[in-house]
Each structure stands twice: as structure tokens, then as C-alpha cells.
Structure 1
């Protein structure tokens, strides 16, 4: 298995993974990604900015996500809680998807492991993510990987999400 930055020619496979996830959410009555987002344009924007990543099994793309050292405006305001770290840079992860054929094998965790390594190299001590209230599988995934629920954030369109944060230990310890 390999994680690498997504390339333009990965867009079709990445979009297919997102569409499968959208269908899964719809079938399980999870109102996440049901408004046409993420879509071709958002994934292509990720890739063009160098913030899209793919998980490959040999040459086959089996996972996709967005990862970046950046300020996430939707995380500026948090209700019913607070972020663990304050006024510190953090890494943001969004749009984590794994092929239906590979689900349940812990492969999404490879993205987290990769981003932890990147953060430690860059001396960033926090990773933030968010998910829908009904997305129990993502909530379990985040808890399993040490993320703590921090409170309620809102997307640009007003949709609520649970904000999660993972605080990383210094690599020297």
C-alpha cells in the first residue's frame, strides 16, 4: 500500500470512490454529501492545490482524502466545547473515502498515520477533522485513532458537524 499526492489522472477513480460513499450515506439515511458535494470540481481543486491524496494498492486507487496545513474557517467558531489546542497551527483532513471492496480493513487509518508523520516532521501538534452526527462509522474511526470530540462546528452552508481533534506527542519524547 502506498499513499501519495493525487495526480490529475487519479480524478476518475477518486470521484468513483466519493460517489460510492454518497450512495452508502444515502442508503443508511446519513445526510452527508447528499447535496452534490464533493464533486469533480472540488476533487480537481484539491489535486491542483497539491492537497489531494490517494491510497493505492499497487497501481489501483482504493482511497482518497484531502489533507493540508491550513486554517479552516469553519473551525473558527465551536459551540458546546472547545478545541484542545488554541492559537496553534493544525493539519486539516477532509473527505476520507476508501473503496467498498477494502472497507473494514483499517486502511483509512493509513491516511492518519501518514499525516501524523507529516505533522511530526513539520512540528505541527494537532490534526482536526469533522463529521456528521449520523456518521457513526466515522465517529468510531476517529475515536479509535485517538481523536477527541471537541464540540459543534458549522459548514459554510450552515450544516452542523462534530469537530474532532488529535493532539500529537512530540517525536523526541
Structure 2
């Protein structure tokens, strides 16, 4: 929430660098706590995403940050991994994707909680720049389901995560701007 003396600039996107890691870790911690407080304690548990995953996302230039400036300092408002190419998790779906066209996937989206609408801005940026976007979320993550559905994503079915032994079901979404 803006204070009386606080001035903010327009929101913009940039790729994360290793210098962003400390703030990114805090944002993911905030997101885990918020999910747990809102009835979704298992999607990310206490440790997801692991630091190695975050570091790999930065090294591979997959992490995008939504930033602005307030009182002359940059603030990270939200972050997400933008993954290009086919996602192996999406090869099998109980349902059907909208199409088999090339797509990008949004993973590990998290808001700092500083401003409202940050997740929506991230999703809209992906649509504007890539057109065909897929995402998935836990059945208990009602907030993300709402964000995706209110931003024009179609619920396509259920997928199973490949990187864990339990709690693997996720709701799969897609939006394709024709």
C-alpha cells in the first residue's frame, strides 16, 4: 500500500540476475506462508521451490521479475519462471489441451504482496509476448485458479507432476490468443 510520501513508477519486466536471489527467496517464503494460511499448505510445503531450482531458473534466464520504483528504489512486485518448449509434465492430460501449437509455460509465480494485481500483470505480459500460454496449479490453490480463470484461461483437465511421489495432481490451464 502506498504511503503518503511514496512515489511509484510504472511497472516493468526484466530478467532476474543472481543479485536478485535474496529478495526472490523472501518472496517465495511469503508465498508459501500465504498459501498455507489460505488452505493450501502442501502445494509448495516449506521448501518449494528449492534454492537449486531458483538458481537454475536464473542461470537459464527463465526468471522474469515484475518491478517498479518507489522513492527511488527498485521493488520486486512478482516473479515467475517462463519456460519455453514442451513441458514433459504436460504430455499426458486427463482432459484436452486447446491445441498442440507451440506454447510457453508459467511456473513458480509468486507475488511479493506489495501491490495488488501483480500476478495478473505477469500473466498478461506472457499472453502479450507469447500468445499461447499454459499453466497449472494445485486443486487447493483457489487464488491462482481465480487469477487464471478471470484472465481468460480455459481449464483443460488434470495433469500429474513427474518430480514428486505424492500430491501430484494439478489443474491444467491454457490460453491461446489466436
Relative to the length of structure 2, the TM-score reads 0.85
Bigger Rg over Cα: 2
Q: Is 1:137 the counterpart of 2:146 in the alignment?
A: no
User: 26, 29, 37: which one pairs with 1:19?
Assistant: 29
Q: Does the residue aligned with 1:84 lie in a helix, a strand or coil?
A: coil
CA RMSD between the two structures: 1.3
Q: Does the residue aligned with 2:114 lie in a helix, a strand or coil?
A: helix
Q: Counterparts in 2 of 1:23-102, with a 5 A limit? A: 23-30=33-40, 31-34=42-45, 36-58=47-69, 59-79=74-94, 81-86=95-100, 88-102=101-115
CA contact (8 A) 2:83 2:107 kept: no
Q: Who is 1:168 aligned against?
A: 177
* Mapped partners of 1:7, 1:71: distance in 2: 25
Q: Who is 1:122 aligned against?
A: none
Q: Counterparts in 2 of 1:140-155, with a 5 A limit? A: 140-155=146-161
* Mapped partners of 1:107, 1:24: distance in 2: 15
Please list the CA deviations of residues 47-95 of structure 1 after superposition, one character each: whole Å capped at 9, or x if unmatched: 100100111121111211011222100000001x100112x21111011
Q: Does the residue aligned with 1:23 lie in a helix, a strand or coil?
A: helix
CA contact (8 A) 1:91 1:126 kept: yes
List alignment gaps of at least 5 residues for structure 1.
120-124
Q: Does the residue aligned with 1:83 lie in a helix, a strand or coil?
A: coil
Cα displacement (A) at 1:23:
1.1
Cα displacement (A) at 1:100:
2.0
- Which piece of structure 1 moves more, 136-145 or 33-42? 33-42
Q: Who is 2:7 aligned against?
A: none
List alignment gaps of at least 5 residues for structure 2.
1-10
* Mapped partners of 1:55, 1:91: distance in 2: 18
